[in-house]
Amino acid sequence: MKRIVIVGASAGGLATAEALRRFGYEGTVTLVGDEPYLPYDRPPLSKQILSGEWQPDRIQLRGRSELDSLGLDLRLGMRATGLDMAARAVTLADGTLVRYDGLVVATGVRPRVLPDCEGVAGVHTLRTLDDALALKARLRAGRRLVIVGAGFVGAEVAAVARGLGVEVTVLEAGPVPLAQAVGEQAGRFLARIHRDHGVALRTGVTAAGVLSSGREVTGVIPSGGRVIPAEDVLIAIGSVPNTDWLEGSGLTVDNGLVCDEFSAAAPGVYALGDVARWYNPLFGTAMRVEHRTHAAEQAVAVARNLLASEPGLRRPFAPVPYFWSDQYEMKIQAYGHLHGHDEAVIVHEDSRGLLVAYRTDDRLSGVLAVGVPPKTLRGWRSLIAAGTTWHHAVSEAADAAFAGTALP
């Protein structure tokens, strides 16, 4: 291969470039990113950047000299607009064609938005550094923030805003925050924490519209209720995979770029991170994971498979997904595939922490913990990776509880 093109210059794209060099690839590596900044880390945007604890330069993943040492053909501030599979070429926004021998799609996701909000000052989404800095500049004690959506981004911003003295109202369409992702038990636990910190959490409520005056936001119209005044509104109602540029390419797109167990979407074309919907043989299902650690792990697998001298030398990518979230003094961590679980059981709960195990069919498929020692959580990860049956996992948890630990 003479040239490998990586479209997406965030953590996953950069990790792919580094892995290619580490595995001995000496050809051209073109890294395309639609933002003008050097690759940076996104998780701190809703936490340390928003709170002012960190300055923007601290989230830079590599300095200029480190990037130079990789010998990259770096195309920043340039969006990919099309893909011609027959010509093996990516089209960029300026009309440039970049031909490739191998292609890696790492274009991530973009936030969903509400209609009629474009150009209204004080209405925010949170995905990029510019988004975070714009919101940070407006969060001050005594101001009013309405967050539409109580997912992880909305919950993290609510926690930071309360720490800054902002009046926070969160609107959540479901009866329990995060129930689809982590189950009702964990959702109720997290809801209580937010209410204890002064967040006005309103469940079973959607945003019917956003009010503005002179193109400046003034409030949110909730479904079935009176207007909630606000100087700022954060739309945090999920994300959409960035696959528009692949339209007409012949690749299969269905809630992300569809890939096999090797993370391949087509011969010589791989995908990773938030945009990739790949088949995970460990769980026997297709999944798309929007978490930083996952993107870095998949990047290494993609680089290895892309450079394999023959198809039979490729390895399936079969991880136990991991994610975390920092809210107030809590660290929330989870391993496994929690989405679509059949049962969630509280293994341990007290005023300081929570541990929930998840069953899918007849096996342990995931675990979520708040305030639990990392060593304990890694033990649960091992059970998930081993394909432990639900009965066996619950038996181990019961034995540990009888011994006074309440944890395996």
- Which helix or strand (DSSP H or E) is residue 324 part of? strand 322-327
Tokens 């960029």, located at residue: 92
Query: Cα separation of 272 and 240, whole Å?
Result: 15
- What does the buried/exposed string (b/e) look like for 146-175 if buried means 16 or more CB atoms within 10 Å of the residue's CB? bbbbbbbbbbbbbbbbbebebbbbbbbebe
How many residues does the structure list for the chain? Answer: 408
Q: What's residue 402's pLDDT?
A: 34
Average pLDDT over the chain, rounded to an integer: 93
**DSSP-derived pairing of the beta strands 200-203 and 167-172:** parallel
Strand ordering across the sheet containing 97-99 = 80-84, 89-92, 97-99
Question: What's the rounded Cα separation, in Å, for the pair 52 and 56?
Answer: 9
Q: Give the Cα-Cα-Cα angle 73, 246, 152 (nearest 5 degrees).
A: 85
Residue at 65: amino acid letter: S
DSSP lists the bridge partners of residue 280 as 285
Ramachandran bin of 238, using left for φ above 0, alpha for ψ from -120 to 50, beta for the remaining angles: left
Encode the chain (408 residues) as per-residue pLDDT tens digits.
Answer: 899 999 999 999 999 999 999 999 999 999 999 999 999 999 999 999 999 999 999 999 999 999 999 999 999 999 999 999 999 999 999 999 999 999 999 999 999 999 889 899 999 999 999 999 999 999 999 999 999 999 999 999 999 999 999 999 999 999 988 877 788 888 999 999 999 999 999 999 999 999 999 999 999 999 988 999 999 999 999 999 999 999 999 999 999 999 999 999 999 999 999 999 999 999 999 999 999 999 999 999 999 999 999 999 999 999 999 999 999 988 999 999 998 899 999 998 887 789 999 999 999 999 999 988 878 888 899 999 999 999 998 777 655 543 334 444
- Which distant-in-sequence residues (6+ apart) come within 8 Å of 238 by Cβ? 111, 112, 149, 151
The pLDDT, as a whole number, for residue 404 is 38
